[in-house]
Structure 1
């Protein structure tokens, strides 16, 4: 008998896996905060004998090197990956025994496309493949994007993705579970996953990589590629060099004077509370990245890399969870932190800043009053439809383009409210009169505000 336990990294839209038998197990594409993985193995009563990487990751910092060191496991990395630390290079067709008593082994399958060196691993029970850890190759209803390595390689890698998907479909049984790393919100996915579980057989009937000819597939894949988070530039090199161990110890506590000094120095002060609480009252100049949103993705995307950041949280638990999320993308030790109420974060006599929230119905009532409507969605979202007369500046470019926002009161919106709240906080910190539209974009349709492109 074997087991596969999924370790969700929801904030980044990824999954890692612990799989094994009664005695030993393998970990596939572990997150940086490896204590979760070690705890899962302890609950199962198994020893981690192998840690494997499907590829050098572009969207998060791996915990594989440190995990293998701590537990004494063999560390398997694709042979063609250029890394600067000790590991066992994996070649196509290599087999590694995972749990001999359960008849479990891993078979490496070269599946280039997401990266040139990408490798999938078939989990075999007594010689029969029961699952495949497909990393960024074959995902649920899609594939990993091929444009993260080198622009000149993108089309070739897209064609390789098609071939790799067909290889997995041809060599593995229809009943084999497909267990990808990406596709659950990660920007490493060419599109979002269409469900929570799948098999080779199901993908044969639903995945365009397996239902379209290569030319049509490549054309559609390349046309659908979206923006790449800026922090991805730093992930590959960090993973190739060998990430340092994680330090999740409590952060230095900042009082109101220190928070003010850090703001004055041009550092980032990030309020992790809900967008509702932030709008009602916050330290002037601070930015709002909700702890319950895609904190790591958007903070790492927007912040100038390496700039000191101070975290403000409503509780110690919220702060610790945020700290854990941020180490996954290489923001290791925020400069300082504070918890509690915003009144405690402002100096005596300072008035908390605030701004109103609204709906698209409210916007419809106020349209024509000279207000500015700012759409901070990505290009691909706007292409499907937009609010008539709106200005379009995607959120990830806004900080450097604030001067492009026309004069007047700014009503800022996205698709659901989270990104609009971030944008509103950036505008508010810059001294603009802002209203955050905290509403789903479907409501703009109902309010008669949208122009649909298709």
Structure 2
């Protein structure tokens, strides 16, 4: 049986894979921090003989080129991709070998024009590495290449999913790169950690829909906003990303932090959002490292802006750096540890909000969820600005104290810190939206 080790990048909702026969390994879609791959190869006594990209990624910077350089393995990328580095050009129908393993290349356009899937097989086993073409219960989104071509690429995505289902046996294991929380997924996945072609025929929305036009209409209508930093990932990946430096810069003092804040730089506090609300340095931004830190920092911060990280420890900052290199933010400009809190804001729940509304207090409820979440249900009378648009729409917010909510409290914590940074009085609703109960209007 073909052995497959999964390298999870849960913060971005992605997976990389090492497929091997016990000696020779094929690495598919490695993330930028390739030390994780090299450590696995070393621990298992494997030789990397082939590095493969399913596509030019839009949600992270690849480690594929650097891994190929470090190991001496060929680097397989679609021959049609306009890259600035030497690669092994691949086309539909190509066959490669990796020790006792055979690798078959299948063109699966849709998520990108040049998307490829790889079937790694022996005489008795096969695994399909499907990238963004066939996810667990869904497919990759089709609006990242060019919004004007979304319908065209959605048709291609439907046909690619059906090609895989038609050409591969039901028992073939399916190993997607996206779909575990990644914004590259076109819709919610069905969950799970493993699947096969046969199982996907019973649960994948592309394979269950017999009408291609109906599928295209539904998928396009369901596409939601995606992180702004995606616009920079394809460019970096076509250029050929180099190695990273994960050493932590020496910390700066509070006076230097205040200077950076006064200059309008981004000074981001990585601590737990509850601890931040209780006390923090004025002018900082709270993005809890325990959630989708990279996604929201990359989405909100102007690309290329000066960045300083505040953490509880050097270890916490090092973890943040590892996550940031995956989206092309190679090094923070400064770091700090153990910064004193000088201001705070109130933390509340939906019961507190109900009481405040009943009392007639002049408050404003601000919903920072996405447009699609708002359309499904909302609190009547609440203002609405999705988190990713908050910085550009600050002037549109009503006057008064802002009670900020999302679904879980993660995004609203970021929003509360941005609003406080802008001089607004805020109350952070640190509660699950389901607890809003009778306040919710469908």
- Provide the residue aligned with 2:205 in structure 1: 208
Q: Which residue of 2 aligns with 1:322?
A: 320
Is the 2:416–2:428 contact (alpha carbons within 8 Å) kept by the matching residues of 1? yes
Q: Residues 136-155 of structure 1 correspond to what in structure 2 (within 5 A)?
A: 136-155=132-151
User: What is the aligned partner in structure 1 of residue 61 from structure 2?
Assistant: 61
Q: Match of 1:363, SS?
A: helix
Alignment of 1:265-276 (within 5 A): 265-276=263-274
Q: Within 1, Cα distance between the matches of 2:68 and 2:260?
A: 38
Q: Which runs of 5+ in 1 are unaligned?
A: 344-350
In 2: Cα distance, 1:118 partner to 1:183 partner: 16
User: 2:90 — aligned with what?
Assistant: 90
Contact 1:281 1:353 in 2 (8 A): yes
Kept in 2: contact 1:124–1:130 (CA 8 A): yes
Structure 1 position 364 matched with structure 2 position 361:
no
Map residues 19-418 of structure 1 onto 2, 5 A cutoff: 19-100=19-100, 104-126=101-123, 130-195=126-191, 196-212=193-209, 213-340=211-338, 342-343=339-340, 352-367=342-357, 368-418=360-410
Once residues 251 and 105 of structure 1 are traced to their aligned partners in structure 2, the CA distance between those partners, rounded to angstroms, is: 44
Partner of 1:424: 416
Q: Deviations over 1:118-142 (max 9, x none)?
A: 000011112x552100000000000
Contact 2:2 2:126 in 1 (8 A): no
1:274-302 Cα distance to aligned partner (Å, 9 max, x none): 01000000000000000111011000000
Residue 347 of structure 1 is matched in structure 2 by none
How far did 1:261 drift?
0.7
Instruction: Indicate yes or no: 2:20 matched with 1:11.
Output: no
Cα displacement string for residues 404-442 of structure 1 (whole angstroms, at most 9, x for unaligned residues): 111111000001000000000001111111000011110
The Cα shift of 1:152 comes to 2.1
Q: What is the CA deviation profile of residues 372-403 of structure 1, one whole-angstrom value per residue up to 9, with x for unaligned ones? A: 00000001111110011111100011011111
Is the Cα contact below 8 Å between 2:50 and 2:73 reproduced in 1? yes
Detail structure 1 runs of 4+ shifted over 6 Å in the superposition: none
Aligned twin of 2:440: 450
Deviation at 1:105, TM superposition (A): 1.3
> What is the root-mean-square deviation in Å for CA atoms of aligned residues?
1.0
For 2:102 and 2:430, the matched residues in 1 are separated by 50
- Distance in 2, Cα, partners of 1:18 & 1:339: 36
Note the C-alpha offset of 1:153: 1.4
> How does the TM-score come out when normalised to structure 1?
0.95
Query: TM-score, normalised on structure 2?
Result: 0.98
Structure 2 unaligned residues grouped into runs of 5+: none
Q: Would the aligned equivalents of 2:2 and 2:125 in 1 still touch at CA under 8 Å?
A: no
Rounded to whole Å, the distance in 2 between the matches of 1:249 and 1:318 is 12
- Quote how far apart the aligned CAs of 1:268 are: 0.5
Q: Specify the SS of the correspondent of 1:92.
A: coil
Task: Write the distance in 2 (CA, Å) between the matches of 1:121 and 1:129.
Answer: 14
Q: Distance in 2 between matches of 1:87 and 1:298?
A: 33
The answer to whether the Cα contact below 8 Å between 1:129 and 1:173 also exists between their aligned partners in 2 is no
Supply the distance in 2 between the matched residues of 1:145 and 1:386 (Cα, whole angstroms).
26
Provide the rounded CA distance (Å) in 1 between the counterparts of 2:291 and 2:47.
34
Q: 1:192 Cα deviation (Å)? A: 2.6
Give the whole-Å Cα distance in 2 for the aligned partners of 1:10 and 1:399: 27
